[in-house]
Amino acid sequence: MKIIVLAGGLSTERDVSLSSSAGICRTLLEKGHDAFLLDVFMGFPYDKEKLDEVFTLPDHGLDIVKNIETEEPDLAAVRASRPDQSDCFLGPNVIELCRAADITFLGLHGGEGENGKLQATFDLLGIKYTGPNSLGCAVAMHKGVTKEIFLQFGIPTPNGVCIHKNKKKKDLASLGLSLPVVVKPCSGGSSIGVYIVHTEEEYNNALDNSFRYEDELVIEEYIEGREFACGIIDDKALPPIEIIPKTGFFDYANKYQAGATEEVCPADLSKELTQKMMDYTVRAFHALKLDVYSRADFLLDKSGNLYCLEMNTLPGMTAASLMPKEAKVAGIEYGDLCELIIRKSLEARY
Protein backbone atom coordinates (compact mmCIF):
# COMPACT_ATOMS: atom_id res chain seq x y z
CA MET A 1 0.00 0.00 0.00
CA LYS A 2 0.97 3.63 -0.46
CA ILE A 3 0.79 5.16 3.01
CA ILE A 4 1.31 8.70 4.26
CA VAL A 5 2.27 8.75 7.95
CA LEU A 6 1.07 12.15 9.11
CA ALA A 7 2.96 13.73 12.02
CA GLY A 8 4.09 16.92 13.73
CA GLY A 9 1.57 19.74 13.63
CA LEU A 10 1.28 22.59 16.12
CA SER A 11 0.29 20.93 19.38
CA THR A 12 2.52 20.78 22.45
CA GLU A 13 2.91 17.08 21.61
CA ARG A 14 4.54 17.83 18.26
CA ASP A 15 7.87 16.15 19.10
CA VAL A 16 6.15 13.07 20.53
CA SER A 17 4.14 12.76 17.33
CA LEU A 18 7.25 12.91 15.16
CA SER A 19 8.89 10.13 17.18
CA SER A 20 5.76 7.93 17.12
CA SER A 21 5.29 8.43 13.41
CA ALA A 22 8.92 7.69 12.56
CA GLY A 23 8.53 4.31 14.25
CA ILE A 24 5.29 3.66 12.38
CA CYS A 25 6.85 4.65 9.06
CA ARG A 26 9.90 2.43 9.57
CA THR A 27 7.89 -0.65 10.50
CA LEU A 28 5.49 -0.16 7.56
CA LEU A 29 8.51 0.02 5.25
CA GLU A 30 9.79 -3.23 6.77
CA LYS A 31 6.37 -4.75 6.07
CA GLY A 32 6.78 -3.92 2.38
CA HIS A 33 4.59 -0.81 2.13
CA ASP A 34 5.54 2.42 0.33
CA ALA A 35 5.37 4.70 3.37
CA PHE A 36 6.34 8.36 3.65
CA LEU A 37 6.61 10.48 6.82
CA LEU A 38 4.97 13.89 6.38
CA ASP A 39 4.77 16.87 8.74
CA VAL A 40 1.18 18.12 8.50
CA PHE A 41 2.20 21.76 9.13
CA MET A 42 5.47 21.96 7.19
CA GLY A 43 4.19 19.89 4.29
CA PHE A 44 6.47 18.80 1.47
CA PRO A 45 7.21 21.31 -1.33
CA TYR A 46 7.55 19.20 -4.50
CA ASP A 47 6.62 19.20 -8.15
CA LYS A 48 2.85 18.59 -8.15
CA GLU A 49 3.14 16.65 -11.40
CA LYS A 50 5.48 14.13 -9.76
CA LEU A 51 3.92 13.60 -6.32
CA ASP A 52 3.45 9.87 -6.90
CA GLU A 53 7.23 9.37 -6.82
CA VAL A 54 7.37 10.79 -3.27
CA PHE A 55 6.31 7.39 -1.92
CA THR A 56 9.55 5.81 -3.16
CA LEU A 57 12.03 8.57 -2.27
CA PRO A 58 15.13 7.07 -0.55
CA ASP A 59 14.75 8.81 2.82
CA HIS A 60 10.95 8.27 3.04
CA GLY A 61 10.65 11.63 4.81
CA LEU A 62 12.45 10.34 7.90
CA ASP A 63 15.00 13.16 7.90
CA ILE A 64 12.47 15.44 9.65
CA VAL A 65 12.72 13.46 12.89
CA LYS A 66 14.64 14.76 15.85
CA ASN A 67 15.06 13.53 19.41
CA ILE A 68 12.30 14.34 21.87
CA GLU A 69 13.33 16.91 24.45
CA THR A 70 12.27 16.86 28.10
CA GLU A 71 10.53 20.21 27.55
CA GLU A 72 7.63 20.86 25.19
CA PRO A 73 8.52 22.33 21.77
CA ASP A 74 8.72 26.05 20.98
CA LEU A 75 5.69 26.34 18.70
CA ALA A 76 6.37 29.99 17.85
CA ALA A 77 9.74 28.93 16.47
CA VAL A 78 8.08 26.13 14.51
CA ARG A 79 5.63 28.59 12.93
CA ALA A 80 8.45 31.01 12.10
CA SER A 81 10.46 28.27 10.40
CA ARG A 82 7.81 27.42 7.80
CA PRO A 83 9.18 28.63 4.45
CA ASP A 84 5.91 29.94 3.01
CA GLN A 85 4.91 31.62 6.31
CA SER A 86 1.31 30.53 5.76
CA ASP A 87 -1.02 30.31 8.75
CA CYS A 88 -2.84 27.33 7.19
CA PHE A 89 -2.58 24.23 9.39
CA LEU A 90 -2.11 22.03 6.32
CA GLY A 91 1.29 22.55 4.71
CA PRO A 92 2.22 22.39 1.02
CA ASN A 93 1.03 19.22 -0.77
CA VAL A 94 -0.42 17.62 2.37
CA ILE A 95 -3.91 17.24 0.92
CA GLU A 96 -2.55 16.13 -2.46
CA LEU A 97 -0.25 13.47 -0.95
CA CYS A 98 -2.93 12.17 1.42
CA ARG A 99 -5.36 11.88 -1.48
CA ALA A 100 -2.73 10.03 -3.51
CA ALA A 101 -2.17 7.50 -0.70
CA ASP A 102 -4.22 4.36 -0.15
CA ILE A 103 -4.60 5.50 3.46
CA THR A 104 -3.15 8.14 5.79
CA PHE A 105 -1.83 6.81 9.09
CA LEU A 106 -2.56 9.51 11.69
CA GLY A 107 0.45 9.72 13.97
CA LEU A 108 -0.54 13.13 15.36
CA HIS A 109 -1.06 13.78 19.07
CA GLY A 110 -3.05 16.55 20.71
CA GLY A 111 -4.54 19.69 19.16
CA GLU A 112 -5.92 19.42 15.63
CA GLY A 113 -4.62 15.86 15.39
CA GLU A 114 -6.98 14.48 18.02
CA ASN A 115 -9.86 16.94 18.34
CA GLY A 116 -11.79 15.63 15.33
CA LYS A 117 -11.25 18.62 13.03
CA LEU A 118 -8.67 16.92 10.81
CA GLN A 119 -10.73 13.71 10.72
CA ALA A 120 -13.82 15.69 9.67
CA THR A 121 -11.79 17.51 7.00
CA PHE A 122 -10.57 14.20 5.62
CA ASP A 123 -14.12 12.82 5.66
CA LEU A 124 -15.25 15.73 3.47
CA LEU A 125 -12.30 15.35 1.12
CA GLY A 126 -12.64 11.59 0.76
CA ILE A 127 -9.26 10.88 2.36
CA LYS A 128 -8.98 7.55 4.15
CA TYR A 129 -7.33 7.71 7.59
CA THR A 130 -6.57 5.53 10.60
CA GLY A 131 -7.88 5.78 14.13
CA PRO A 132 -11.20 6.87 15.62
CA ASN A 133 -13.87 8.83 13.75
CA SER A 134 -14.28 12.61 13.95
CA LEU A 135 -17.19 12.55 16.43
CA GLY A 136 -15.43 10.26 18.90
CA CYS A 137 -12.25 12.32 18.71
CA ALA A 138 -14.13 15.59 19.32
CA VAL A 139 -15.99 14.21 22.34
CA ALA A 140 -13.01 12.46 23.94
CA MET A 141 -10.68 15.45 23.48
CA HIS A 142 -12.59 17.58 26.00
CA LYS A 143 -11.82 16.26 29.50
CA GLY A 144 -14.84 18.05 30.99
CA VAL A 145 -17.29 16.48 28.54
CA THR A 146 -15.55 13.12 28.98
CA LYS A 147 -16.02 13.35 32.75
CA GLU A 148 -19.76 14.06 32.38
CA ILE A 149 -20.21 11.13 29.99
CA PHE A 150 -18.27 8.78 32.27
CA LEU A 151 -20.58 9.66 35.16
CA GLN A 152 -23.66 9.07 33.01
CA PHE A 153 -22.40 5.62 32.00
CA GLY A 154 -21.33 4.54 35.47
CA ILE A 155 -17.59 4.78 34.80
CA PRO A 156 -15.82 5.97 37.98
CA THR A 157 -13.83 9.17 37.54
CA PRO A 158 -12.50 11.81 39.97
CA ASN A 159 -14.91 14.58 40.96
CA GLY A 160 -14.16 17.77 39.08
CA VAL A 161 -15.41 20.84 37.25
CA CYS A 162 -14.46 22.98 34.25
CA ILE A 163 -13.55 26.64 34.63
CA HIS A 164 -13.03 29.28 31.93
CA LYS A 165 -10.31 31.89 31.90
CA ASN A 166 -12.79 34.78 31.66
CA LYS A 167 -15.08 33.59 34.49
CA LYS A 168 -14.44 34.84 38.02
CA LYS A 169 -15.63 31.71 39.82
CA LYS A 170 -12.27 30.06 40.48
CA ASP A 171 -11.89 29.68 44.26
CA LEU A 172 -12.06 26.05 45.34
CA ALA A 173 -14.86 26.48 47.90
CA SER A 174 -17.23 27.90 45.26
CA LEU A 175 -16.29 25.01 42.97
CA GLY A 176 -17.19 22.46 45.65
CA LEU A 177 -13.61 21.21 45.95
CA SER A 178 -10.85 21.32 48.55
CA LEU A 179 -7.08 20.87 48.49
CA PRO A 180 -5.25 18.92 47.21
CA VAL A 181 -6.49 19.15 43.62
CA VAL A 182 -5.24 18.57 40.09
CA VAL A 183 -5.24 21.46 37.61
CA LYS A 184 -5.03 20.59 33.91
CA PRO A 185 -5.99 21.93 30.48
CA CYS A 186 -9.30 20.64 29.15
CA SER A 187 -7.90 19.39 25.85
CA GLY A 188 -4.18 18.95 26.47
CA GLY A 189 -2.01 15.86 26.35
CA SER A 190 1.31 14.39 27.53
CA SER A 191 0.57 15.92 30.97
CA ILE A 192 1.62 19.36 29.71
CA GLY A 193 0.18 22.08 31.93
CA VAL A 194 -0.87 19.56 34.59
CA TYR A 195 -0.21 20.43 38.25
CA ILE A 196 -0.87 18.64 41.53
CA VAL A 197 -1.34 21.40 44.11
CA HIS A 198 -1.50 21.30 47.90
CA THR A 199 -1.68 24.99 48.87
CA GLU A 200 -3.65 28.06 47.77
CA GLU A 201 -0.45 29.63 46.43
CA GLU A 202 0.31 26.54 44.34
CA TYR A 203 -3.29 26.53 43.12
CA ASN A 204 -3.17 30.14 41.95
CA ASN A 205 0.20 29.60 40.26
CA ALA A 206 -1.14 26.47 38.56
CA LEU A 207 -4.11 28.41 37.18
CA ASP A 208 -1.79 31.06 35.73
CA ASN A 209 0.49 28.47 34.17
CA SER A 210 -2.22 26.17 32.78
CA PHE A 211 -4.19 29.05 31.29
CA ARG A 212 -1.14 29.74 29.12
CA TYR A 213 -2.06 26.61 27.17
CA GLU A 214 -5.85 26.85 26.99
CA ASP A 215 -8.75 29.08 28.02
CA GLU A 216 -10.57 26.22 29.78
CA LEU A 217 -9.26 24.02 32.58
CA VAL A 218 -10.42 21.01 34.57
CA ILE A 219 -10.04 21.18 38.34
CA GLU A 220 -10.51 17.80 39.98
CA GLU A 221 -9.91 16.06 43.28
CA TYR A 222 -6.45 14.59 43.69
CA ILE A 223 -6.46 10.79 43.85
CA GLU A 224 -3.27 9.38 45.32
CA GLY A 225 -2.54 5.98 43.89
CA ARG A 226 -0.98 3.78 41.24
CA GLU A 227 -1.11 4.76 37.55
CA PHE A 228 -2.25 2.43 34.78
CA ALA A 229 -3.16 2.44 31.10
CA CYS A 230 -5.33 0.03 29.15
CA GLY A 231 -5.47 0.01 25.37
CA ILE A 232 -8.31 -1.21 23.19
CA ILE A 233 -8.38 -2.32 19.56
CA ASP A 234 -10.96 -4.24 17.55
CA ASP A 235 -13.37 -3.76 20.49
CA LYS A 236 -11.11 -5.81 22.78
CA ALA A 237 -9.17 -4.44 25.75
CA LEU A 238 -5.47 -5.22 25.94
CA PRO A 239 -3.65 -6.31 29.13
CA PRO A 240 -3.31 -3.28 31.46
CA ILE A 241 0.14 -1.76 32.02
CA GLU A 242 1.32 -0.08 35.24
CA ILE A 243 3.35 3.13 35.01
CA ILE A 244 5.79 3.73 37.87
CA PRO A 245 7.65 7.07 37.65
CA LYS A 246 10.86 7.13 39.68
CA THR A 247 9.95 10.63 40.89
CA GLY A 248 6.71 12.61 40.84
CA PHE A 249 3.92 11.58 38.48
CA PHE A 250 3.79 10.58 34.80
CA ASP A 251 4.46 14.10 33.47
CA TYR A 252 6.08 15.16 30.16
CA ALA A 253 9.66 14.63 31.35
CA ASN A 254 8.90 11.22 32.89
CA LYS A 255 7.09 10.15 29.72
CA TYR A 256 9.95 10.91 27.34
CA GLN A 257 13.18 10.90 29.35
CA ALA A 258 14.97 7.57 29.10
CA GLY A 259 15.00 5.62 32.37
CA ALA A 260 12.63 8.00 34.18
CA THR A 261 9.77 5.50 34.40
CA GLU A 262 9.32 1.78 34.97
CA GLU A 263 6.48 0.11 33.08
CA VAL A 264 5.10 -3.29 34.08
CA CYS A 265 2.90 -5.31 31.73
CA PRO A 266 0.87 -7.27 32.47
CA ALA A 267 0.20 -5.12 35.54
CA ASP A 268 0.49 -6.73 38.96
CA LEU A 269 -3.23 -6.76 39.73
CA SER A 270 -5.76 -9.34 40.85
CA LYS A 271 -7.80 -11.05 38.14
CA GLU A 272 -10.86 -9.18 39.40
CA LEU A 273 -9.23 -5.72 39.17
CA THR A 274 -7.66 -6.54 35.81
CA GLN A 275 -11.02 -7.54 34.38
CA LYS A 276 -12.73 -4.51 35.91
CA MET A 277 -10.18 -2.15 34.30
CA MET A 278 -10.59 -3.86 30.94
CA ASP A 279 -14.40 -3.70 31.21
CA TYR A 280 -14.29 0.02 32.08
CA THR A 281 -12.01 0.59 29.08
CA VAL A 282 -14.49 -1.03 26.69
CA ARG A 283 -17.40 0.84 28.31
CA ALA A 284 -15.59 4.19 28.06
CA PHE A 285 -14.67 3.48 24.44
CA HIS A 286 -18.32 2.93 23.53
CA ALA A 287 -19.65 5.80 25.66
CA LEU A 288 -17.41 8.29 23.84
CA LYS A 289 -18.51 6.98 20.42
CA LEU A 290 -14.98 5.84 19.52
CA ASP A 291 -13.96 3.17 17.05
CA VAL A 292 -10.83 1.32 15.82
CA TYR A 293 -8.47 1.90 18.79
CA SER A 294 -7.68 4.10 21.80
CA ARG A 295 -6.10 3.94 25.26
CA ALA A 296 -7.65 4.63 28.67
CA ASP A 297 -5.73 6.06 31.65
CA PHE A 298 -6.54 4.92 35.18
CA LEU A 299 -5.69 5.53 38.83
CA LEU A 300 -6.06 2.91 41.58
CA ASP A 301 -6.25 4.33 45.10
CA LYS A 302 -5.08 2.66 48.31
CA SER A 303 -8.58 1.34 49.00
CA GLY A 304 -8.71 -0.49 45.68
CA ASN A 305 -11.01 1.99 43.92
CA LEU A 306 -10.46 2.50 40.19
CA TYR A 307 -10.81 5.88 38.48
CA CYS A 308 -10.80 6.38 34.72
CA LEU A 309 -9.21 9.72 33.84
CA GLU A 310 -9.58 9.93 30.05
CA MET A 311 -9.36 8.17 26.69
CA ASN A 312 -6.43 8.94 24.38
CA THR A 313 -7.73 8.68 20.83
CA LEU A 314 -4.31 8.60 19.13
CA PRO A 315 -1.99 7.19 21.81
CA GLY A 316 1.79 7.12 21.51
CA MET A 317 2.95 4.56 18.96
CA THR A 318 6.72 4.17 19.26
CA ALA A 319 7.72 0.55 19.82
CA ALA A 320 8.42 1.54 23.44
CA SER A 321 5.06 3.30 23.96
CA LEU A 322 2.41 1.98 26.34
CA MET A 323 -0.09 0.55 23.86
CA PRO A 324 2.45 -1.33 21.72
CA LYS A 325 3.88 -2.86 24.93
CA GLU A 326 0.38 -4.02 25.92
CA ALA A 327 -0.22 -5.40 22.44
CA LYS A 328 3.03 -7.36 22.56
CA VAL A 329 1.93 -9.05 25.79
CA ALA A 330 -1.29 -9.96 23.96
CA GLY A 331 0.81 -11.56 21.21
CA ILE A 332 0.67 -8.68 18.69
CA GLU A 333 4.09 -7.48 17.51
CA TYR A 334 4.65 -3.80 16.73
CA GLY A 335 4.52 -4.05 12.96
CA ASP A 336 1.46 -6.30 13.11
CA LEU A 337 -0.24 -3.75 15.41
CA CYS A 338 0.32 -0.98 12.86
CA GLU A 339 -1.14 -3.14 10.10
CA LEU A 340 -4.06 -4.17 12.35
CA ILE A 341 -4.87 -0.48 12.93
CA ILE A 342 -4.90 0.09 9.17
CA ARG A 343 -7.10 -2.94 8.55
CA LYS A 344 -9.60 -2.10 11.30
CA SER A 345 -9.77 1.54 10.15
CA LEU A 346 -10.61 0.41 6.62
CA GLU A 347 -13.27 -1.98 7.97
CA ALA A 348 -14.79 0.69 10.23
CA ARG A 349 -15.37 3.33 7.54
CA TYR A 350 -14.46 2.20 4.08
Higher pLDDT, 189 or 116: 116
- Sketch out the chain's domains with CATH numbers: 2-129 (3.40.50.20), 148-155+225-331 (3.30.470.20), 159-221 (3.30.1490.20)
User: Three-state secondary structure along the chain?
Assistant: CEEEEEECCCCCCHHHHHHHHHHHHHHHHHCCCEEEEEECCCCCCCCHHHHHHHHHCCCCCHHHCCCCCCCCCCHHHHHHCCCCCCCCCCCCCHHHHHHHCCEEEECCCCHHHHCCHHHHHHHHHCCCECCCCHHHHHHHHCHHHHHHHHHHCCCCCCCEEEEECCCCCCCHHHHCCCCCEEEEECCCCCCCCCEEECCHHHHHHHHHHHCCCCCEEEEEECCCEEEEEEEEECCEECCCEEEEECCCCCCHHHHHCCCCEEEECCCCCCHHHHHHHHHHHHHHHHHCCCCCEEEEEEEEECCCCEEEEEEECCCCCCCCCHHHHHHHHCCCCHHHHHHHHHHHHHHHHC
Q: How confident is the model at residue 242 (pLDDT cuts 50, 70, 90)?
A: very high
Q: Is the pLDDT of residue 254 over 50?
A: no
Confidence of residue 130 (pLDDT cuts 50, 70, 90): very high
Lowest mean pLDDT segment, chosen from 85-99, 253-267, 292-306: 253-267
pLDDT tens-digit series, residues 306-339 = 999 999 999 999 888 999 999 999 999 999 999 9
Q: What is the mean pLDDT of the chain?
A: 92
85-104 residue pLDDT tens: 999 999 999 999 999 999 99
> What is this structure's pTM?
0.91
Model confidence at 139: pLDDT above 70: yes
Q: Is it the case that residue 240 has pLDDT exceeding 80?
A: yes
Does 184 have pLDDT greater than 60? yes
* Structure confidence at residue 16 as a pLDDT band (50, 70, 90): confident
Instruction: Kindly tell me if the per-residue pLDDT of 192 is higher than 80.
Output: no
